[in-house]
Chains A and B, each alone.
Chain A
């Protein structure tokens, strides 16, 4: 037994006030050892493990300024609760009581206090071994013997350890000594997660610190509804990896790359969950990955990948959102095609109106006459009604009618075919487009600016514009709806 140095007989400090918090390397799931980590020591008193046959656990306080390393010493003689009075951290060489041939000696370092973990006689699982490998080099066979000599930083010295009989015991001990945070998902399921892992996430951290929730099952932290269990487990994996300070950038980067190789739906949900938890690095990672997926794909491909509805109307698709590398000829063809389609729509609409009218033959002569007049300009009537709209939306009409390229080439091709037959009707358009090249690109509804058009041409243009506007009014209600959908929408031309 070590000498009873009076200075070393102090009881272990209260867990919450311990300056250097020891970290028990958890064999299975916890974070790996990081010596410099300071956190409220929850395992200061340490005596959580029950005495079991064949193995007793004992904590030894050891003097060292930096390293925190909880220690368990196999000893039948030693009670479970740490009694430092028996085992001192004195500078003098103190050999600990051991039995059954497991000899443990330790030479404490000069200053500070820390916990040392000594394991003896347990069959190490691979995980346990990796956790402890920084401190123990593995000898072949079941026995793990190691002499760790002291160095300047105060590493544990002269440590020997042996395989333990029950590593579940250690695990239990570690688990009992750790703090867990309780989290509740959107679907109501509650799970617990190690504190340091959970603290990596700012939102959870804030909840713990400010509101004090999460410490027990009944007071679990309720996560935002976008966080489903699958996303949560991914997020926790991420946190668990990254909250370890000892990793190199290369390691983190390669982990990140592998991390985002999941299917798109999961990635979307993960991004969503990360955003609601305000976990900035993960948000950047997932959104960057999704952006790389989306960028460069055509709309159909994107729709397929993300199972999105094709809910833009044809006319909306033809809005001036051309492919930026578009060929002017194809653009022109698309324009003509669009115009042709609108004509067809208009004709259809008129047909419908006519069908309606035929049912009203009981009306008086006056009404019929009115109707006929109205019908001849039912488009016109609409014009007067919607003149304001027309005037206001003239530029848009002009814009979408004239600068109306479609992004998809195949539309242009088929449009070309259907337009050929109609070329007489709209042959005007091409030469107009030549003269008012600028006009097509940049509509000139303000006549005061010198746009180089003579009045006759302008008149034609105006007529053309009104025509288009009338036709576009067919789909005007839809566009209005689009505008009211979102707060941004009010900026539609």
Chain B
């Protein structure tokens, strides 16, 4: 709170500073009655300092995998619980959320997405690694509402061009993308077509084809930071044969040298790379530590700890078990 010019501020303003500092220590469940106390407190509860990053990394769906699309079934109570939590969060925060982070096992539906996109119009960063139950139109509408979106972390989807197109149309400040899953040449082409001004791209722990990588390095002029750490690099030969590439050749490295930051694994001996090999290119995050999926070599993409708003205590209090 270094902006305090202690000479000229009104008493009410100062009071709110202290209130905000206090409320920062509380989680969602505790903030709910606090916002009912009085008008001043309700306003202080909605302060952007508290809600800047809304990290739901501890919130997961109760789900099973199925054979038919969407391959995930979530029980109703889990959905309702998510709905409640989002409702409370959106109500107290009053649109001041800048960054929302969801777990890879949090399978939300269109309605949830709709809800949050309406009530956080100024969202700048979204981390949502699970799109199984979201429809095309659902995500497109949400993106249309998030015109200030700058950073997106998404899973690999079937036909990426439509979403990239949507982002290009609605989000003028979009600079940062992280893909979790796999990355092939059509995807790369779509990015270079629709998001030519992309600055930061992370493909960490994904399956990446060499042709896609080359495409990125040649056609993305504005790209500043590229992260292919722990990626399984595949080269698909003309006869369809796949071969894992363990070392980048000089030509690629030279192309990458113009980037401000190029993260890649020089040796295959790091733990994450070994895990990739074991999981055959599709990282099974659930097998590993809680924080493993949240890491990123790119500083702006790295997710730190879970924050106070939805902490372990809050998770316990809201559980439906």
Contact = CB atoms under 8 A, between A and B. Distances in A.
A98 interface: no
A482 B17 CA distance: 19
A93 to B, nearest CB: 57
A321 B6 contact: no
A408 B2 CA distance: 39
B137 A449 contact: yes
B96 interface: yes
Contacts of B17: 275
B40 to A, nearest CB: 8
Interface stretch (B19-27, B169-177, B261-269): B19-27
B94 A492 contact: yes
A283 interface: yes
B225 interface: no
Contacts of A278: 1-2, 4
B41 interface: yes
Interface in B39-83: 39-43, 46-48, 80, 83
A310 interface: yes
A229 interface: no
A491 B21 contact: no
B96 A441 contact: no
A226 B25 CA distance: 22
B122 to A, nearest CB: 8
Nearest to A407: B36
Given A299-B36, A312-B36, A321-B92, A276 B14 contact: yes
A291 interface: yes
B18 A323 contact: no
A278 B3 CA distance: 10
Contacts of A407: 32-33, 36
A485 interface: yes
Contacts of B122: 491
A319 B35 CA distance: 11
Interface magnitude class on chain B: 35 or more
B30 A295 contact: yes
A132 B154 CA distance: 66
B94 A488 contact: yes
B46 A488 contact: yes
A225 B36 contact: no
Given A276-B14, A288-B25, A449-B110, A324 B85 contact: yes
Contacts of B137: 449
B46 A299 contact: no
B302 interface: no
Nearest to A322: B88
A454 B318 CA distance: 34
A446 B6 CA distance: 47
A275 B94 contact: no
A321 B91 contact: yes
B238 interface: no
Nearest to B116: A442
A296 B31 CA distance: 9
B39 A482 contact: yes
B42 A302 contact: no
A294 B6 CA distance: 26
Contacts of A486: 43
Nearest to A300: B37
Given A320-B87, A395-B118, A488-B47, A275 B4 contact: yes
B317 A324 contact: yes
A276 B29 CA distance: 29
Given A311-B38, A491-B95, A295 B26 contact: yes
Given A226-B6, A226-B14, A308 B37 contact: yes
A324 B137 CA distance: 30
B84 interface: yes
A324 B29 contact: yes
Contact of B18 (A287, A324, A441, A442): A287
Nearest to A441: B83
Central interface residue in A224, A298, A441, by most chain B CB within 10 Å: A441
A446 B39 CA distance: 32
A312 B39 contact: yes
A272 B115 contact: no
Contacts of A442: 83, 111-112, 114-115
Contacts of B91: 319-321
Contacts of B48: 488
Given A311-B39, A488-B96, A224 B6 contact: yes
A126 to B, nearest CB: 39
A403 interface: yes
A309 B165 CA distance: 51
B126 interface: no
A323 B32 contact: yes
A445 B48 CA distance: 27
A491 B94 CA distance: 6
A210 interface: no
Nearest to A294: B34
Given A441-B111, A492-B94, A308 B38 contact: yes
A275 B36 CA distance: 25
A225 B10 CA distance: 10
B152 interface: no
Given A278-B2, A299-B33, A308-B41, 15 more contacts: A224-B6, A276-B6, A291-B23, A292-B25, A295-B30, A302-B34, A308-B38, A310-B38, A317-B36, A320-B88, A322-B87, A325-B317, A407-B33, A407-B36, A491-B121
14 contacts: A272-B15, A272-B18, A276-B4, A278-B4, A283-B21, A290-B22, A296-B30, A298-B33, A308-B38, A320-B87, A320-B88, A322-B84, A438-B111, A442-B114
Interface of B: 1-2, 4, 6-7, 14-15, 17-18, 21-26, 28-30, 32-43, 46-48, 80, 83-85, 87-88, 91-92, 94-96, 110-112, 114-115, 118-119, 121-122, 137-138, 141, 317-318
